[in-house]
Amino acid sequence: MNESLPATQLYLISPQDVSGDFPERLARAIDAGGGLVTAFQFRVKDIDQHEAARLAEPLQAICAERDVAFIVNDSISLAKRLKADGVHLGQKDGDPRQARDELGREAQIGVTCHDSKHLAMEAGEAGADYVAFGAFFPSTTKETEYHPEPGLLSWWSQLFEIPCVAIGGITPANCGALVVAGADFLAVSGAIWNGDEAEAVKAFASAITAAN
C-alpha cells in the first residue's frame, strides 16, 4: 500500500467484454489514478479457459507493468493457470483454504460476504486477505440481493485488520459515505467503463480526497 495515497484505493472490475480496445482503456484508467488503482479483477463469464487466458494475457501484462494486482474472479483453476496475483471467491466458488493450497502463500484471496458479519468472520478465519461487502447501491453490472449499510464497513474496520472492499453501484457522487465509513477499497466497474475511464478515475480521486 502506498502511504502517500488516500487510505481508500480503487479496485477496478472488468466489464464482460474485454476484447477490442479494452487493454488500452485499462492502461488509461490505471495511469489516470496516479497510483490510486491498486487492483484489477478479471471478471469474464461463460468462456472456456483457453479463451479466457488469451483475453487475460495483455491485461495481466498491463497490470504487472504498473504494480497493480491482477485478480481472477470465481475460478481458482484459472487463477492458477494464469499465475495470477490472486482470486476472488463468491460464496459458491470454493474455500479460501483450498485457494491458498492451490495458489500459494503469496496469493491475494478475497471473499464476497454480502451483508453478513458472520460470513466475513468465517472468511477471515479461513485465511482470506480481504472481504467484500455489497451491494451498497443499485448496480447495473449484476443482480444484487443484499444491501448493507455503510456502518458495516465501520464495524469491520474497527475490529479487524483484514481490509474490506465495498462493491455495488459505487460512483464518484455516492462513494463519500463508504470512504468515511472505512472502506479500504472501492470496487468499481460500470462507473468506470460506461464513460471516459480516465475522467472517471480522476473523479473518484477527487471524491475520495474530499471525503477524507
Residue 62: give its domain's CATH number: 3.20.20.70
ω before 135 within 30° of 0 (cis)?
yes
Looking at the domain assignment, is residue 2 inside a domain? no
Smallest CA-to-CA distance from 119 within 104, 108, 134, 98 is with 134
Looking at the domain assignment, is residue 3 inside a domain? no
Q: Which pLDDT band holds residue 212 (cuts at 50, 70, 90)? A: confident
- With a cut of 70, say whether residue 148 has pLDDT above it: yes
Smallest CA-to-CA distance from 91 within 75, 64, 73, 111 is with 111
Q: Which pLDDT band holds residue 184 (cuts at 50, 70, 90)? A: very high
Average pLDDT value for the chain: 95
What is the model's pLDDT at position 1?
36
What is the model's pLDDT at position 6?
64
Looking at the domain assignment, is residue 196 inside a domain? yes
pLDDT single digits (tens) 79-110: 999 999 999 999 999 999 999 999 999 999 99
Task: Summarize the confidence of residues 118-133 as an average pLDDT.
Answer: 98
Looking at the domain assignment, is residue 4 inside a domain? no
* CA dist., res. 212 & res. 210, Å (int): 5
Pair 10, 40: CB distance under 8 Å:
no
CA atoms within 13 A on the CB side of 205: 17
Task: Summarize the confidence of residues 116-144 as an average pLDDT.
Answer: 93
Q: What is the DSSP string of 79-147?
A: HHHHT-SEEEE-TTS--HHHHHHHH-TT-EEEEE-TT-HHHHHHHHHTT-SEEEEE-SS--SSS-----
Q: If 0-12 CB within 10 Å is exposed, 13-18 middle and 19+ buried, where does residue 73 land?
A: buried
What is the DSSP pairing of strand 108-112 with strand 164-167?
A: unpaired
Q: Which amino acid is at 127?
A: G
Work out how many domains the chain is built from and give that number. 1
Smallest CA-to-CA distance from 38 within 160, 163, 196, 191 is with 163
Looking at the domain assignment, is residue 143 inside a domain? yes
What is the model's pLDDT at position 135?
96
- Residue-range definition of the domain harbouring residue 164: 9-211
Question: Cell 497493480 identifies what position?
Answer: 68
Looking at the domain assignment, is residue 135 inside a domain? yes
* CA dist., res. 128 & res. 119, Å (int): 11
pTM summary value: 0.96
